[in-house]
A and B are shown apart, each in its own frame.
Chain A
Amino acid sequence: MVSFIQSTVGKKYLMGLSGLVWAGFVFGHMAGNMTILISPDLYNAYGHAIVSNKILLYGTEIALVSALVAHVILAILLTKQNRESRGTRYAAKPNGEKAASFASEWMAIHGSIVLVFIISHLVTFKYGPVYETTVNGVVMRDLARLIYEVFSNPGAVGWYLVSLVLLGFHLTHGVRSIFQSFGLLHPAYQPAIKKAGVVYSIVVAGGFISQPLFVFLTRAVAA
């Protein structure tokens, strides 16, 4: 077990496993938040239902935090090891198929920006100001109001757009590579896996992006 975790193959396997937890989470998070496009009340009720279910809430939080910590530590270890292995860099850049894709080449860079984004996102919303509202006679947190406040600022919308596009790139390489690291690559499925990875990333990033954009463009109506 120990030698498996210490090996490059084992590290990549755990990297994929911890990434998979988040790749699955972002889809659920994006889909659930789509309720903001329908109505602030529905969105608040959805959020309230989640935080009321303590087992689901804490279970998910523990899984996400431990996966994130593992993913970041492994990323640092692997990036350091890979840089050392490469040693001297080339003077000339490769081109065409012999070059690495943009997403894979910059994984550590957009990964770091996504990490900063996750932390700032939690500070802004989860640990942000708490407003209260009543939906159907139940008193709950008015997260929708905070969302409308935050996304009335074009700067905040811009930061979310950039971060979410980078998250999309991170996912295109990640989702596809999970299959490789887990040893599930097969010539018959390879092109389909590649396409599915891109579609999945576009759906997640596109879905997320639609939310701050929608709020920003319709805030006059709600205000």
Chain B
Amino acid sequence: MSGKNINITLKVWRQKNQREAGAFKEYVAKNVSTDASFLEMLDAVNEELISKGDDPIAFDHDCREGICGSCGFMINGNAHGPLKSTTVCQLHMRNFNDGDFLTLEPWRAQAFPLIKDLTVDRSALDRIIRSGGYISVNTGNAPDGNAIMIPKTAADEAFNAATCIGCGACVASCKNASAALFTSAKISHLGLLPQGAVEGEKRALNMVGQMDKEGFGACTSTGSCSASCPKDISLVNIARMNRDYMKASFSKKPETHAGDGA
């Protein structure tokens, strides 16, 4: 490997909890290997803080493979840092230069209350998923591979939408803190497949309703969300959500019982 070491100055948002006011604090990350990931660099800074008896910088992380959606914060105003299609855990220090000055801020949105430092509460996204409800599948033995016919293009698009890891970068990077990209990816990945199509309209209505209830803003089609998305979720999903929601709103019928019309 290249084996170079660099020094970085960090300006990090420190905040004990929601009740206490936060402020930026500067730290110098010395002798950072360019092969280290951004989170490994923060680990080293934290080791030093702990050895000095200071409180380490809190940040979310889990798999460190870019697939779980736990990590994420703003680096110089960009969600997940300067690279596209990357989470901060997969961002390496070779993308930075010696002497760089980096501002680290937590995801900011009214619907993401701050927990501590760079960690925020993203359970609003979980509640949107929950509002989507179930899909109709038969229980019992696993069905045969191709028992349900799915066009290749539909499968591709559904899978592309399903790659959303729910990290919240779309909300964080949106000037309106809109969750349109996230919600639309969830609506698309179930609605495009025959198993999820049955509840498609209800799902679109409920998920958009929950998204609004959580206090996320409206989509202004700036495209910041898609550009910041580690999984490159496309704006086309938002268009599909708008279409599905509109269709569902106008065709919504009340549930009836046999004999109601008699």
Q: Does A210 contact B (CB under 8 A)?
A: no
Is there an interface contact between B108 and A90, defined as CB atoms closer than 8 Å?
yes
B177 engages A183 (CB within 8 Å): no
Q: Judging by beta carbons under 8 Å apart, are B220 and A98 in contact?
A: no
Residues of the A chain whose Cβ atoms lie less than 8 Å from the Cβ of B208? 7-9
Contact A105 B109 (CB under 8 A): no
Interfacial chain B residues near A97, Cβ < 8 Å = 84, 223, 227
Contact A91 B24 (CB under 8 A): yes
Do A13 and B212 contact each other (CB < 8 Å), given the known contacts A85-B110, A105-B222?
A: no
Q: For A93, what are the chain B residues with a Cβ–Cβ distance below 8 Å?
A: 77
**A92–B77 CB distance below 8 A:** yes
Interface centre among A85, A179, A185, A186 (most CB of B within 10 A): A85
9-residue interface stretch from A38-46, A76-84, A144-152: A76-84
Q: In chain A between 74 and 116, which residues have their CB closer than 8 angstroms to a CB of chain B? A: 78, 81-82, 84-101, 104-105, 107
Instruction: Please state if A84 and B215 are interface contacts (CB–CB under 8 Å).
Output: yes
Q: Are B173 and A94 neighbours in the complex by a CB distance under 8 Å?
A: yes
Is B39 in contact with chain A by the CB < 8 A criterion? no
Contact between chains at A88 and B108 (CB < 8 Å): yes
Q: At the interface, yes or no: A133 with Cβ under 8 Å from chain B?
A: no
Question: Do B236 and A186 touch across chains, with their CB atoms under 8 A apart?
Answer: yes
Please give me the residue from chain B that is nearest to A108 by CB atom. Answer: B220
**Which B residues, 22 to 80, have Cβ-Cβ distances below 8 Å to chain A?**
24, 74, 76-79
Q: Is B178 an interface residue (CB 8 A)?
A: yes
Shortest distance from the beta carbon of A170 to any chain B beta carbon, whole Å:
13
For chain B, residues 197 to 235, give those with C-beta under 8 angstroms from any C-beta of chain A. Answer: 208-209, 211-212, 215-224, 227-228, 234-235
Q: B105: CB under 8 A from chain A?
A: yes
Q: How far is the CA of A86 from the CA of B216 in the complex (A)?
A: 8
Q: Whole-angstrom distance from the CB of B253 to the nearest CB of chain A? A: 13
In the bound complex, residues from chain A placing their C-beta under 8 Å from that of B243 are 182-184
The answer to whether A190 and B236 touch across the interface, beta carbons within 8 angstroms, is yes
CB distance from B71 to the nearest CB of A (A): 17
Instruction: Decide: A183 and B239 in contact? CB cutoff 8 A.
Output: yes
Q: Which residue of B lies closest to A94 (CB)?
A: B77
B103 contacts the other chain (CB 8 A) = yes
Also in contact, A92 and B242, with CB within 8 A (given A12-B219, A98-B227): no
Which of A9, A86, A92 lies in contact with B246, CB distance below 8 A? A9
Say yes or no: B175 contacts A100, CB within 8 Å: yes
Instruction: With CB as the reference atom, state the residue of chain B lying closest to A182.
Output: B242
Beyond known contacts A85-B110, A181-B221: 12 more, CB 8 A cutoff: A1-B249, A8-B208, A8-B217, A8-B219, A82-B176, A84-B215, A89-B108, A91-B24, A92-B77, A97-B227, A98-B224, A100-B175
Between-chain CB contacts (< 8 Å), 26 pairs = A4-B246, A7-B245, A8-B178, A8-B180, A8-B217, A9-B246, A10-B245, A10-B249, A13-B242, A82-B176, A85-B111, A85-B217, A86-B217, A91-B77, A91-B103, A91-B105, A92-B74, A94-B79, A98-B84, A100-B220, A182-B239, A182-B242, A183-B239, A183-B240, A184-B243, A190-B235
Q: Which residues of B contact A (CB under 8 A)?
A: 24, 74, 76-79, 82, 84, 103, 105, 108-111, 173-178, 180, 208-209, 211-212, 215-224, 227-228, 234-236, 238-246, 249-250
